[in-house]
Amino acid sequence: KPYLIVKGFHPIGTGDRDHNRMLGRASYHAIFNLVAELPDGVVAVIDAWHGFQPESVLRDHLARAGVARVIEVWVAIAPPEAARRYRDRRRHPGHLPASYADELFELAARARPTALGPVIEVDGAAMLGDDLTAQVLAALRQDETGYSI
């Protein structure tokens, strides 16, 4: 999603918070348009938190894109750390300013996985372990009943 947003800054331009939200909604739609075009059997990996929109919007996008199964890798992070990282990072001029970190703190405090399928939780404050790929592959091999296929 960030790639789509940054690439959208050039033809659409940057703006205020409402403009940023509009660009985010357009990117969200574009992500699932791309997913809908993938050949059968291809696994799409989407890097985004879907809690900014109502769950019904996500469900509609998944249905429209023909996504039958969701495996969620949830990166849990404490609100102060999320805010600190946002404040400290270099941003494209079209991204929200460092002051957005306060809003991000509030979002991180109430953020939860969507849990539309299996959830694999990762500690965002720790080094990534070697077993994440194995966990995702194991989840891909299970059917809806939890049995391996």
pLDDT in tens, 79-130: 999 999 999 988 777 777 888 899 889 999 999 999 999 999 999 989 888 8
How much is the pTM?
0.78
Residue 10, pLDDT score: 55
Q: Would you state the structure tokens that stand for residue 70, as one six-digit string?
A: 């969701």
Model confidence over 33-73: pLDDT tens digits? Answer: 999 999 988 899 988 776 678 889 999 999 999 998 999 99
What is the per-residue pLDDT for 12?
66
Q: What pLDDT does 1 receive?
A: 46
Q: Please, what is the Cα angle at 148 between 147 and 149, to 5 degrees?
A: 115
Structure tokens at 14: 């940057």
Contact by Cβ (8 Å): 78, 126: no
DSSP 12-31: H---SHHHHHHHHHHHHHHH
Q: Answer left, alpha or beta for residue 83, where phi above 0 means left and psi between -120 and 50 means alpha.
A: alpha
Instruction: Give the per-residue pLDDT at 117.
Output: 92
